[in-house]
Amino acid sequence: GKGKGKGNERVRIVRCKECEGCLREDCGQCVACLDKPKFGGRGSLKQSCTNRKCLSPKEQTLVKKVIVPRTSTPRKRGRPKKDDAEVKGIGGEKNESKANDEGDSSAKKKKPRIRISLGSKKSDNRIPRKKKKSPSDDAAEEDDEETETASKSEEVLEKEADSKAKRSRRQRKEVAQENEDEEGEVAEVSEPEDPGEVYMDTAALAREREELDGVGFSATRDHSTKRGPWALPKALEKKFTEIAKETIIKMNKHDGYQLFFEEVTEDEAPDYNDVVKNPMDFGTMKSKVERGEYGEGSDAAAALYEDFLLVFDNCALYNEVDGEVTVEAARLLGLLPETFSTACVTVATGKKKKSKKRRR
């Protein structure tokens, strides 16, 4: 590549001839390779393969050769200089007497000579002779050719890099479009996505819950609500009542201190109704399920989900952040997604009914 230097020195970037790019063979597909004669090209670009780009280029200092001028004396052109007497206009007599003493030879030397080219018209049409090149001229021309070739190579490489980047971006877009088309085709053939299917994998939800040990109420709430309101699996859309009762029963079993099954009274928690405007408990939720106030399907499951959050949010609102009651509420809230999933699997598989038959 081109480089700068001081005086006759010039720094150029050369290949290291050791890296992977230098040792790689020509690809035969890029613009530079297709122009090479061995690949059927004309060899006009004189560039290296774009895939053989040097990874560790080195600097090389070159001393520029000085062109030695020709030793022959150039011909004088134009009129000769006037004598001092004519220029200054003084001392004319002294110069004239001095010229007479020195003789004719000195007079001839001072006499101006005017050369007239009679064959000027012929010389205009004359074919000039080709000037012979010296070795220094050849070296200078080679350096200029290398500089021009290097500059052209850099320009071509930049253009190739831009076109390659555009081509890769276009290919990525095409691949992404193909993937979208394939996904669309699969979606048309297969059944619609089931948002409640995630609650049929109780083991995965249990693994997530195990990571919540000691993280606090706020972090536990964020984790338990990251999937949004509950949705029933499509196969269990008409089984909301059974799933809701099973979920409340299991959550009540997890509540070892029986903190949330009954309504909070003023005797147990002074000024509770002044702090909490919308009280809720597991017992009230069970009554709402039995009366059918939640409805059916995934909408009913989402409403049940909101009431569970209301129970635990009220607890965190009334009690201290690091208090024992709030810590217990965080533990139960972490178990909520897993418990709902267990209820869905129990109703779907009918394990509870089968176990009763075996006991009989």
Q: If you write DSSP's letter for every residue of 250-297 in order, what string do you get?
A: HHHHH-TT--SSS---TTTSTTHHHH-SS---HHHHHHHHHHT-S-SH
Q: Is the pLDDT of residue 123 over 80?
A: no
Weakest mean pLDDT among 33-37, 84-88, 127-131, 334-338 = 84-88
Q: Quick one: pLDDT at residue 354?
A: 46
What is the pLDDT confidence band of residue 340, given thresholds at 50, 70 and 90? very high
Grouping H, G, I as helix, E, B as strand and the rest as coil, residue 350 is coil
Residue 297's pLDDT is 96
Number of neighbouring beta carbons within 10 Å of residue 314:
21
pLDDT at 113 over 60: no
Question: Is the CB of residue 328 less than 8 Å from the CB of residue 259?
Answer: yes
Backbone angles phi, psi at 319, to 5 degrees: -95, 170
Task: Report the chain's C-alpha Rg in angstroms.
Answer: 50
Element (H, E) at 169: helix 135-189
Instruction: State the pTM of this model.
Output: 0.47
pLDDT at residue 23 tops 80: yes
Q: Does domain 197-359 have CATH number 1.20.920.10?
A: yes
Give CATH 1.20.920.10 domain extents, the chain: 197-359
Which are the contacts of 51, defined by CB distance < 8 A and separation ≥ 6?
21, 24, 26, 27, 30
- At residue 47, φ and ψ (nearest 5 deg) are -120, 160
Residue 11 — pLDDT band, cuts 50, 70, 90?
A: confident
pLDDT in tens, 197-252: 999 999 999 999 999 888 899 999 999 999 999 999 999 999 999 999 999 999 99
Give the distance, in angstroms, between the CA of residue 224 and the centroid of all CA atoms in the same chain.
34
Mean pLDDT, the chain, as a whole number?
78
User: Rounded distance, CA 3 to CA 9, Å?
Assistant: 10
Q: How many angstroms separate the CA atoms of 74 and 57, rounded?
A: 47
How far is it, in rounded angstroms, from Cα 355 to Cα 190? 35
Contacts of 345 (CB under 8 A, 6+ apart): 200, 202
Quick one: which of 157, 205, 139, 196 has its CA closest to 45? 157
Residue 284: strand pairing partners: none
Task: Give mean pLDDT, residues 149-157.
Answer: 66
Residue 301 CA to residue 241 CA, distance in Å, equals 9
Tokens of residue 175, six digits: 């691949």
Residues 257-289 have pLDDT tens digits of 999 999 999 999 999 999 999 999 999 999 999
